[in-house]
Amino acid sequence: MAAGGKSEQLTAVERFFNAAIGWLVGRGLGPAHMRVLEVRGRKSGKLYTLPVDLLQRDAKVFLVAPRGYTQWVRNAQAAGEVTLRRGKQRQCYRLRQLSAAEKAPILKAYLDDFRREVQRFFPVPAGSPVEALAPLCDRYPAFELLRA
């Protein structure tokens, strides 16, 4: 849902909205699919947080970066893991980056499920066939989350 780390892509309204949603989710409120992602900065060591939409398919959990290769993505890739929070629950996950072949159906499901939040980041409309998303796979990092 948001970029993390640096806020170079976020407007003041987006930063406020993300902070408000993060605050709610951090207290266990808000949509059930949302979590607060925590990741350490790869250079600074600072802990960054942001609200994210988790996609669940076939008993697997996926994390998609609708804004592309933002700072939180680079930090998560460097760390190889993230922590997700909702209320008092915390869970650490290892990241498995999806291959291009795996990614298109996950991007389609993500866009279809969260169209209201993420449509503006995708050049194809929600409901498009998976083939329309295949050429876009390099733009959007996507991970399967594996319990650590």
- State pLDDT tens for residues 58-85: 999 999 999 999 999 999 999 999 999 9
| pLDDT-derived band at 4, boundaries 50, 70, 90 | very low
* In the chain, where the domains are located: 12-98+141-147
Tell whether pTM > 0.95: no
Q: Are 44 and 5 in contact (CB under 8 A)?
A: no
End-to-end CA distance of the chain: 23
Mean pLDDT along residues 10-14: 83
Task: State the average pLDDT for the chain.
Answer: 91
Architecture of the domain delimited by 12-98+141-147: Roll (2.30)
Q: Which residue has the tokens 């993300």?
A: 18
- Distance between CA atoms of 78 and 40, rounded to whole angstroms? 9
Pair type for strands 81-86 and 60-64 = unpaired
Q: What is the pLDDT of residue 17?
A: 83
Helix (H, G, I), strand (E, B) or coil at 59: coil
